[in-house]
Structure 1
Amino acid sequence: MTEFSKRIHLPWGIAILFFLMLFPVVNDSRSMLILFTQIFIFAIFAMSFDILLGYTGIVSFGHCMFFGIGSYSIALMLDRYEATLINFFIAVCVAVVLAALVSYVIGMLSLRLKSHFYAMLTLAVSQLFLVLAEKWRTLTHGGDGFTFHVPDIFRDRFSFYYISLISLVVLFLLLRLFTTSSLGKVLKAISQNEQRAEALGYKILHYKVIASIVAGTVAAFSGALYVVTLRFVNTTVFSIETTLDALLMTMIGGLGTLAGAIAGAGVVEFIQHFLSELAGDYPIFERWSIFLGLLYIIVLLAFPSGLAGAVQTLTNRKRKKAKEEKLKQAA
């Protein structure tokens, strides 16, 4: 990102964060509080997917399995033991370690091959987790799922809103450091031209596995937050629709931009909320998923590089126009 872009984006980022910090104080709508909390959680999930697809060029059809690993790790731990903060943090550590191990094994098995092998293997393993969750009813209660208790601090929607927001900001900054580091620049080079990066001496497999582990652990954390806000878990967290949501969020927001993933999550969640609300008043919107699909198509056609790409293009045009005006004045 250029110095000019930083000067443009930083004030906007601070202004948006300030608004989000004040939002619960000036708006007492419970539904909006829940909606924004969902946006924060899925923004974390979308950023994890963007690390794979946007920054490394790795296509994953089974990213939901890491989301599900985080969800079930928290739910099972808090269901079988006392719902304390210590047990919650232990469960998060278990989820992160398990997600890292799974992503490492899958990455070592498939990332040395062509990218579609990784995509298909992640899909197969995610479906294996789905079948396991469906069949192991003594542990997971199958497709019916189960409810569980959460620590007292998570019971208050107001408090959990800020916990989710802080988690999003911290992870955004950490992933920002990751993507702007020398390692992140190599990942970007791999996504643009893998053969050239390999010819320069970089061990492509190692870098891809690192990206896979980072993406998997962050996705597991978002899954943990997701089930805590619901206090309920079932096998839908392993469904391919969860992966497709992350894909749409990153595509709409803009590939290779963490801020774009956050924006995409906000757009998708707001549209889903708006259309589901309309369905209650207008029967035509009862099949709101069809309208949702049409809106996605329109957005992707109008902004092929995503919302972040559209903003960047507009910024570049303004910058170019400003330069031209300065040159005219100097002449």
Structure 2
Amino acid sequence: MERIGGRWMSLSPLQALRRWIQPHIGWLIGLGILVGLPFMLSGVFREPVESGWPRFLQGLLIRVYLMAVYALSYDLLIGYTGVLSFGHALFFGGGAYATGILLKHLHASLPIALLSTVLLAVVLSGIVGVLSLRVRGVYLAMVTLALAQAAFILSEAPDFRQYTGAEDGLQGIPVPAWLDPAVHRLRFYYVALFFMVGAYFLARRLVDSPTGRVWVALRENEERAVALGYSPFVFRLLAFVFSGTLAALAGSLNALLNKNATPSLLSVNTTIQALLMTLVGGVGTLSGPMFGAALLELVGYLFNRMFGPIWFLLFGLFYVIIVLSFPQGLVGTWRQRWSLHRPFTHRNLRAPSPRGG
């Protein structure tokens, strides 16, 4: 049903589908390109999709998709509730270790391992949220950093070597044959791609919901939101749970891709990665951190191959240039400029009134 000319009119399925496609045509074209990309690459390199350069590039793109979800999950916190966390790696690395231990030591099936990881992520993110949301600002950031560092130290502790592999990490995580990236890289590519797409639409639906609007209200004017009867603690705790669960799932797939989980996944550097991707793409845009993840992962790989040992220095300069050129991030700056340009364009294109106005 749709209101047209003051009356409610029923739409046929084809009309409803057309109305849904029109505002999403850009995203659908992009998704189509990503779906066909492995076959495009095989045509460029003249190799089968399961061998050579296409296979390697599929692995690189899988990494991009997983980091995009990780950055997206971080944006739910910092971009929509204004919570600066320095311990987001706790969820990403925790998801990787949880899935690895369940598969290797407890011999769980993959669905049971992933479901258990989700449940553990909900509990862990809830605990972190309850402990950290009692304080504000830099103190909150320090609490999350302390909890993540505690997990990092435990992952390297010799006492837990039997389960975590200590400083060597948990190696040789068994992956079911039907999803083994060493055998079925293309299949894993599509799993990672549709995981990213599903995570984006879930997050978009969430931030467009009443809960998401309360998050933004708390970020913009917490006193006014409290006056309207909303609890900052409860809604920010919900943000922690959703964000932590998405990050844990991304970490789980990362463990399946690499067949290991190492302490570096729990380090502060992994959290800084999420922060940089979010800043480069645009805080509070959802799609921005995903583009930021793609840019930093792909440029980082190219710089590493082209410049050798000094690549990290040049990569830092590249990051500075991006931040100075796009102060609101790639997507944030584009939206800002488009919003300023659009009214001017419409005003100039508007037909004159009969009175000559």
TM-score between both structures, scaled by the size of structure 2: 0.85
Is 1:11 matched with 2:28?
A: no
1:110 aligned to 2:132? yes
Rounded to whole Å, the distance in 2 between the matches of 1:268 and 1:318 is 28
Match of 1:277 among 293, 305, 309: 305
Greater helix percent: which structure?
A: 1
Q: Contact 1:134–1:140 at 8 Å: present in 2 too?
A: yes
Q: Aligned partners of 1:91, 1:116: CA distance in 2, in Å? A: 35
Partner of 2:35: 21
Find the aligned partners of 2:139 and 2:22 in 1 and give their Cα distance. 40
Q: Is the 1:106–1:118 Cα contact (8 Å) retained in structure 2?
A: no
Contact 2:105 2:163 in 1 (8 A): no
Matched-pair contact (CA < 8 Å) for 1:81–1:87: no
| 1:209-220 → structure 2 map (5 Å cutoff) | 209-220=237-248
Residue 37 (structure 1) aligned with residue 50 (structure 2): no
Tell me by how many angstroms 1:247 deviates.
Answer: 0.5
Write the distance in 2 (CA, Å) between the matches of 1:316 and 1:8. 20
How much has 1:113 moved relative to structure 2? 2.3
Q: Distance in 2 between matches of 1:115 and 1:248?
A: 19
1:172 to 200, 205, 227: 200
Identity level (%)? 33
> 1:274/1:209 Cα in 2 relative to 1: closer, same or farther (>3 Å)?
same
Contact in 2 for aligned 1:253/1:262 (Cα 8 Å): yes
1:157-196 paired onto structure 2 within 5 Å: 157-196=185-224
| Cα deviations by residue, 1:192-238 (Å, 9 ceiling, x for unpaired) | 12122112221110001000011111100000011111112211111
Q: What residue is the counterpart of 1:292 in the other structure?
A: 315
Counterpart in the other structure of 2:85 = 60
- Out of 177, 192, 199, the residue aligned to residue 152 of structure 1 is 177
Aligned residues of 2:76 and 2:284 also touching (Cα < 8 A): yes
Q: Residue 79 of structure 2: SS of its match in structure 1? A: helix
Query: Which amino acid in the other structure matches residue 88 of structure 1?
Result: L
Superposed displacement of residue 8, structure 1? 8.7
CA separation in 2, counterparts of 1:169 and 1:22? 15
Written as runs of structure 1 = structure 2, the 5 A alignment for 1:284-323 is 285-323=308-346
* Aligned partner of residue 257 in structure 1, secondary structure: coil
* TM-score in terms of structure 1 length: 0.91
2:156/2:166 contact within 8 Å kept: yes
CA distance in 1, matches of 2:116, 2:140: 24
2:153 to 128, 131, 136: 131
Gaps of 5+ in 2: 1-19, 43-53
Mark the structure with the bigger radius of gyration.
Answer: 2
- CA distance in 2: counterparts of 1:291 and 1:88, whole angstroms: 41
Q: Distance in 2 between matches of 1:32 and 1:148?
A: 23
Alignment correspondent of 2:115: 93
TM-superposed deviation, 1:184: 0.2
Distance 2:310 2:281 in 1: 25
Q: Please state how far the C-alpha of 1:327 moved relative to its aligned partner.
A: 4.0
Aligned pair 1:205/2:219, yes or no?
no
1:73 aligns with 98
1:297 CA displacement: 1.2
- Mean Cα deviation higher: 6-15 or 236-245: 6-15
After TM superposition, give the deviation of residue 76 of structure 1 in Å.
1.2
Structure 1 spans left out of the alignment, 5+ residues: 1-5, 280-284
Contact 1:107 1:118 in 2 (8 A): no
Pick closer, same or farther for the CA change 1:80–1:112 going to 2, 3 Å: closer
C-alpha distance in 1 between matches for 2:23 and 2:299: 25
SS at match of 1:55: coil
Q: Distance in 2 between matches of 1:314 and 1:18?
A: 28
How many residues align? The count is: 318
CA distance in 2, matches of 1:328, 1:112: 56
Report the Cα distance in structure 2 between the residues aligned to 1:238 and 1:69, rounded to whole angstroms.
Answer: 7
Q: Given residue 38 of structure 1, which amino acid in structure 2 is its aligned partner? A: R
